[in-house]
Amino acid sequence: MRWLWLSAGALGLIVVSACGENNTTGITGAVPSGAPRDVHASEYHDFVLEELAGGLNHPWSLAFLPEGDLLITERAGTLRRFSEDGLSEALSGVPESVVQNQGGLLEVTLHPDFDNNQRVYLSYARACDEGGATTAVGYGTLNGTSIEHFEDIFVGDACATGGRHHAGKLLFDNDGYLFLSIGDRGEDPRAQDPGDHAGVMIRLHDDGRVPDDNPFVGDDDKRDEIWSYGHRNPQGLDLHPTTGEVWLHEHGPRGGDEINLVQPALNYGWPEVTHGVEYSGEYIGPDEMEGMEPPLKHWTPSIAPSGMAFYTGDAFPDWQGDIFVGALAGQHVARVRFDGTTEVEEEQLLADSGHRFREVRQGPDGFLYLLTDSTDGKLLRILPE
C-alpha cells in the first residue's frame, strides 16, 4: 500500500486511498492508517467505496485526462476539473445550455488523439430558434481551466419543449467515428421516423461530417447521420472490448429498460415494441415484433439505467468482460455478465448506499469511478478491498 495525501478542494474533497502498482492516475490520495474503510462484499470481489469529492450539482459525465485529472460535467451547465488540488471553479468557454428538466450540459469525452490536439467534446441541450431545445455536440480545445474556440459540429433536428429525453451520450469507436445518442424527446412516435433525429443513434466523423457508408446516405426519406433508430432515451454507451461493437442501454417507461447491440439501419422498436407500460399502467405494445430488434437484456420493473462500462482492468480480474450499469431509480450499480450476447448473470452492488448512480466509468488505473445524481452529487471510486 502506498500512502499519499490530497489537499482539500473547494467543494469538500476528502482524502482517499489507492492500492497497487497499477494506479496510474494523478488522483492517488489516502486515508490515514487505521481509519475506517467502507468495505462491501460481492460475489467475486470485496471492494472499498471511497468518496473523492462532494458538492457537485447533478454531475452527469466524466472524462480522464492523460496527466490524471478528471473533467466532470454538471447538468446545470458547468464543466469542472478535478485534480489533487480538488475541484476547480467552472471552466470558461463552455456552450450555454438550456437547463430544463433532463436537459443541460450532458456528456464530456476526449478526442482519440487528445494528446496532440487537446480536443474536448461536449453534448448539451441547445436552444431552438422556434422555442424548446434539441441535442447538440461540439468541441473546443482544453487550455488549463478554459475551453477555447468551441464550435458545434452537429445540431440535431430534434427540437421539443419540456426538456425530456435528450440522451446525449458520446462514444468514439475503434475506427475514430463519433457516436451520439438522441432520445425521442418525450414524443414517442418520432423514434419510428428515420427522417427525424429524435430517438436515434447518430454516427459522424470527428469534425461532424457524415461518413459515406452510413446506412441511409442517399435516401431522401431518411437522415444521412442516422446509424439506427427506434430508441427511447439511451444513456449508456460503450464498446465491447473484444468485438469493438457499440453497445447501449436505454430507459424504458415503467419497465422495459434495455441493453442493445447497436447495428446499422436496424429498428430497435420503440414505441411499437417494449417490455414496459406507461407510467399510468396503460398498455403500449407487444414485447416482440417482426422486423424490430429485441433487446439483449431488459429490466422490468425499471431500474432507470444511466452510465455503462465494460470492465477490462486488472484490479478486479474476475470482473473482466462484465458490464457495469448505474441505476438511478434502482439506486445500485448492476454488474451484468454476458456469454456472447446471452445474459448469464446479474448482481446488484451498493444497493444499500441510497445513491442515484448517474455515471460509471473505468479509470486508467483499473478502478471504477461513479457519479451520483443529486444537488450534492459525489465522485466515488471503487477499489479492491
Length of the chain: 385
How far is 94 from 92, CA to CA, in rounded Å?
6
Residue with the three cell numbers 480480474: 317
Position 99: which residue type? V
How far is 8 from 250, CA to CA, in rounded Å?
37
The contacts of residue 128 (CB under 8 Å, 6+ apart) are 134, 159
Q: Which of 118, 53, 47 is nearest to 84 (CA)?
A: 53
Here the cell at position 211 is 461518413
Cβ burial of 96 (10 Å; 0-12, 13-18, 19+) is exposed
How far is 50 from 23, CA to CA, in rounded Å?
15
Neighbours of 312 (CB within 10 A): 13
CA Rg, the chain, in Å? Answer: 20
Preceding omega of 301 cis (within 30 degrees of 0)? yes
Q: Which of 304, 307, 334, 310 is nearest to 322 (CA)?
A: 310
How far is 37 from 46, CA to CA, in rounded Å?
12
How far is 304 from 87, CA to CA, in rounded Å?
28
Please check whether residue 156 is in contact with residue 132, taking contact to mean a CB–CB distance below 8 angstroms: no
Q: Which of 165, 166, 197, 332 is catalytic?
A: 165
Dihedral sign (CA 268, 274, 278, 282): positive
Here the cell at position 309 is 462500462
**Cα–Cα–Cα angle for 95, 98, 100, nearest 5°?**
145
Q: Tell me, yes or no, if 298 is annotated catalytic.
A: no
Instruction: Quickly list H helices, the chain.
Output: 114-117
Position 176: which residue type? G
Active site residues: 165
